[in-house]
Chains A and B, each alone.
Chain A
Amino acid sequence: MKVLIDANFVIPGLEGKNEIEISSAEVTLKTVLEELSSMSSRRMNFIDRWTREIDYLSYHITVNEESPSALEAFSDRPLKDGDRVTIRLLGLCGG
């Protein structure tokens, strides 16, 4: 199935494309994010390697513009063909 990807930065391995195709039967948001990390040769890590959850301090991620309401469950959210995953790198506030 195809998942549309909308990021505010270029994801290495996805240059010039706005979708990825995943062959797994059950696809979750975490599946897609892991796949994107893998495509970038782990230069981008959307899943925190220590907590194994989405790195919410670095990225704001939505599915079809739906924001996570329960953070821990959000990465397990099932995706269907044509869903749009939006990834925004968050700026840091402090100085």
Chain B
Amino acid sequence: MNEDNHIDGLSRYAKQMLLKGFGKAGQERLVSSHVAVIGCGGLGTVISNHFVRAGIGCITIVDRDYIELDNLQRQMLFDEDDISGGLPKAIAAARKLGRVNSQVTVIPVVTDINPRNIEEVIGNADLVMDGTDNFETRYLINDACVKHHIPWVYTGVISSRGMTMLIVPHHTPCFRCLMDKRPGPGSMPTSDTVGVLSTAVDAIGSFAVTEGLKWILRRDNEMQSYLVSVDVWRSELTKFEMKKASRGCPVCDEGIYDSLDAREETYSAR
């Protein structure tokens, strides 16, 4: 371990602080911020890795699952030893990230995120990052974040494509504005049905973290409310300016939180 980095807490971020609009003030803001990452699979590992290396002050990582061999193709924080050790993803990620940057407080939470616990889990967060793999949990995150005015970054990936969007409650369209009709179970392709390319996960996870960093640094004039869509196989990047729900959004216009109010349901955060 480099003792100098411990003595001078910010010197390890020298290259980052050189960036226009970042600087020491931006780094200090980042160090005093708390991010919650819901799900620690492909996206969650990329997102957590970047935030910890960037020097977020505190990160909560929520996932109930254990690491399996076919995770290693894209879940960047894990290795074969983690499988042998039988560790939950959240714990393995916390241990790995603790070795990357011991200045960051990493809080692993081994649980299913659900309507009963989500408000407590994200309650202290300045920003919530989506590392989940299903829409049900995203509707739940959206409900909780809109209700408590916590910005969050939606991210999804499949095949060679990924998309991400910063959602700032009552300033940008919310996730329910984007997807007003809930897709039926099994109606949308998943990595289990059509596969996923690790470079797509890495690319869109990096875009998502960048959106999160921009929000934390409060660079409002550069804060985009665009949905960014990337297809790494086709080398295509498209920006969509999303609209608020045309007929009024039940969540961000009317304050109806269907998913949050469904207290008996259980969701998967992975």
Contacts and interface: CB of A to CB of B under 8 A. Distances in A.
Contacts, number: 77
A24 to B, nearest CB: 27
Judged by DSSP, the binding face of B is mixed
B54 interface: no
Contact of A89 (B135, B183, B190, B227): B227
Interface string B156-169: 11100111000000
Interface in B116-159: 130-135, 138, 154-158
A91 B154 contact: yes
B242 interface: yes
Contacts of B69: none
Given A93-B134, A95-B39, A43 B238 contact: yes
Nearest to B238: A43
A58 B234 CA distance: 14
A89 B157 contact: no
Given A91-B135, A92-B163, 11 more contacts: A8-B242, A8-B243, A9-B240, A9-B241, A10-B242, A44-B238, A89-B178, A91-B179, A93-B188, A95-B130, A95-B134
Interface of B: 39, 41-44, 130-135, 138, 154-158, 161-163, 175, 177-180, 183, 188-191, 196, 227, 229, 238, 240-243, 245-246, 270
Interface of A: 6-10, 43-44, 57-58, 88-95
